[in-house]
Structure 1
Amino acid sequence: MTTLNASVARAVHWHRPLMALSAAMAVLALACSAGLLLDHRTVIGAPVWLKPFKFSLSLMVYCLTLAWMITLVGRGRRLADRAGTVIAISAAGEMLLIVGQAARGRASHFNTTTPLDDVIRLTMGATIMFLWAGTLILGVLLFRTAVADRANRWAVRLGVVLSLVGMSLGALMVLPNAAQRRALESGVDTVIGAHSVGVADGGPGMPLTGWSATGGDLRIPHFVGLHALQALPLLALLLAVLAQRLPRLTEQRRARLVLLAAALFTGVLAVVTWQALRGEPLVHPGAVTLTAAGLLAAAGVGGTAAALR
């Protein structure tokens, strides 16, 4: 318990703007949970407070992870601190807009139906660009930082790279589809962009996530890539704990396993992106998708055996 309290005390003093925002997102997630129970309004077929709830949880762990990663930076620490502050301000701005639109009962993303909605959409796009740029700067600094343990070193570096790729895939959602282009050409203000592929947004969705159960959904690769930032460091931590009981799990072998996991994660990201773009729902994969998944699983088994050899 003493060790846990000391760890929490140290964590509180990580990058303070990011830690403060992470704590605020935890409180916001609770508030949105109450909204889901008490407010029965919907936006494009989904509960109005579902998007703020999911975004608050995602940003809570995102900011917490980046705050920890900044403590690893040696050379360029001042720049890392500034990048973290930019990320915190950008993320806070985006969440304010998402919550404000939810309170109004309006769609926050892709919405151009009124001048105010369009300004909010464009402002959110700007905040995301600043957030992406701040994460990129931190990633470059982490590649220049000599983290002592090789498994942790590659987990942190490749986690940031895959997270940036996942964020970039979000750009696929802001492109207008054929029907939207026709409406814009005819002078009708409409929604620009969509989550779903092959079906309209707002149809039957998976529990909690709301991802489309009848067509492709571009939020899936966005989510998968974004959270490599947590998955790979957590794997490195788990391997380090196991190594205390399994001397055969040397630093070199743990580093190989992390590199293998990053490669497999990249493969999974490619498959779910390909699946979404083909308009195929995650819960109903076709033969081609199942074949690709099987090949990835076989590569994982073979790669693990080779890494431990």
Structure 2
Amino acid sequence: MQETYGSGRGAFDPELTVAELKSRNAVLFWTATASSLLFVVALVGVVLDPRTVAGGEAVWFKPMRYAMAMALFTGTLAWLTPHFSLSDRLFRGASWAVAFAVVFELAAIAGQAARGVDAHFNHPAGFDRLVYLLMGVVIASMTLLVAALFVAGTWTGFDVHPAFSLGITLGGLLFVVGSFEGGVMSALTTHTVGGGYTLPVVGWTLVGDFRVAHFVGLHSLQVLPLVGYLSAIGGQQGRIDRPRRLVWLVGLAYTGLLAGALALALYPVLG
């Protein structure tokens, strides 16, 4: 499907955007919709449920964050996957596999929250340990699948403007790097190995906290394809002379941001 770079009000009509997303990948569109609904439910839980988990965090705060992240992730894939050179069978299979992984992950996190238990870490044995291990297997398998899709897409080429194509490639690469930083946290059985300045809202520490680098890496999947898309529009409209160069510059800057966040996370260990 060749990307259309429209102009005018219709290109930014929310109703048209939702309809377009659904037509591109209905499976991932509905997965994103379900994730968004869970976000609303968890938000209500944060307000109404006084329970907390270790560290004093509201028991529904993690399901809320994960639901938002998964809605963005599956919505982004719904936008991008039609540009991958995939057979119909592989397209459907990959979409359903990602949808299953996302639904399982969110169901596990929300289910543990309903029980008043943190879904991650500090589960040496029993049912909670089993849930944690299954979550790790499912999310690692999904990450490998997404990595394979982006490698295959880059190898065969995306049917879009070269600047947009480059943004998809760089975003997919850094997304995979950010995803496997979650594996580092699992191996360490903690997300924080230091202390220092605490970031507002999320409560993460700037130094010694792998969640910062994890967040930066994961959201490259939205940032860099969007940069590529907008650069392609600017190039076609004559506003940007070298759109691919702009994507490279932003991609290198974003890589530096990710590397810096990872260095700060590792500093207490290696410093």
**TM range, smaller chain:** 0.7 to 0.9
Unpaired runs of 5+ residues, structure 2, are 1-8
1:52, distance to aligned residue in structure 2 (A): 0.5
**Cα-Cα RMSD:** 2.2
1:41, distance to aligned residue in structure 2 (A): 1.2
Pick from 79, 101, 110 the counterpart of residue 90 of structure 2: 79
CA distance in structure 2 between the aligned counterparts of 1:23 and 1:8, rounded to whole angstroms: 10
Checking the alignment, whether the CA contact within 8 Å between 1:22 and 1:64 is kept in structure 2 is yes
CA distance in structure 2 between the aligned counterparts of 1:128 and 1:118, rounded to whole angstroms: 16
Pick from 221, 227, 237 the counterpart of residue 229 of structure 2: 237
Give the aligned partner of residue 265 of structure 1: 254
In structure 2, the CA distance between the partners of 1:174 and 1:74, relative to structure 1 (3 Å rule), is closer
In structure 2, the CA distance between the partners of 1:104 and 1:204, relative to structure 1 (3 Å rule), is farther
In structure 2, the CA distance between the partners of 1:75 and 1:121, relative to structure 1 (3 Å rule), is closer
Larger-gyration structure (1/2): 1
1:241, distance to aligned residue in structure 2 (A): 4.3
Unpaired runs of 5+ residues, structure 1, are 177-192, 281-287, 289-309
Which residues of 2 match residues 111-130 of structure 1 at below 5 A? 111-130=122-141
1:249 matched to 2:240: yes
- Aligned residue type for 1:224: V
- CA shift digits 1:120-176 (9 cap, x unpaired): 111111111221122122212321124331100100111111100100111111124
Give the aligned partner of residue 133 of structure 1: 144
Checking the alignment, whether the CA contact within 8 Å between 1:155 and 1:232 is kept in structure 2 is yes
SS at match of 2:50: coil
In structure 2, the CA distance between the partners of 1:55 and 1:259, relative to structure 1 (3 Å rule), is same
- Aligned residue type for 2:183: A
Checking the alignment, whether the CA contact within 8 Å between 1:154 and 1:258 is kept in structure 2 is yes
CA distance in structure 2 between the aligned counterparts of 1:244 and 1:73, rounded to whole angstroms: 22
Give the aligned partner of residue 18 of structure 2: 8
CA distance in structure 2 between the aligned counterparts of 1:152 and 1:71, rounded to whole angstroms: 13
CA distance in structure 1 between the aligned counterparts of 2:201 and 2:222, rounded to whole angstroms: 20
Which residues of 2 match residues 87-126 of structure 1 at below 5 A? 87-126=98-137
1:59, distance to aligned residue in structure 2 (A): 0.4
In structure 2, the CA distance between the partners of 1:71 and 1:235, relative to structure 1 (3 Å rule), is same
1:9, distance to aligned residue in structure 2 (A): 1.9
Identity across aligned pairs (percent)? 33
Give the aligned partner of residue 217 of structure 1: 209
Checking the alignment, whether the CA contact within 8 Å between 1:87 and 1:130 is kept in structure 2 is no
CA distance in structure 2 between the aligned counterparts of 1:27 and 1:196, rounded to whole angstroms: 30
- CA shift digits 1:19-67 (9 cap, x unpaired): 1110011111111111111111111121111111110000001001111
Give the aligned partner of residue 190 of structure 2: 194
Checking the alignment, whether the CA contact within 8 Å between 1:18 and 1:84 is kept in structure 2 is yes
Pick from 149, 171, 181 the counterpart of residue 159 of structure 1: 171
- Aligned residue type for 1:156: I
- CA shift digits 1:276-299 (9 cap, x unpaired): 11139xxxxxxx9xxxxxxxxxxx
1:273, distance to aligned residue in structure 2 (A): 0.4
Give the alignment's TM-score, normalised by structure 1: 0.77
Give the alignment's TM-score, normalised by structure 2: 0.87
Give the aligned partner of residue 40 of structure 1: 50
Checking the alignment, whether the CA contact within 8 Å between 1:15 and 1:67 is kept in structure 2 is yes
In structure 2, the CA distance between the partners of 1:100 and 1:75, relative to structure 1 (3 Å rule), is closer
CA distance in structure 1 between the aligned counterparts of 2:160 and 2:124, rounded to whole angstroms: 52
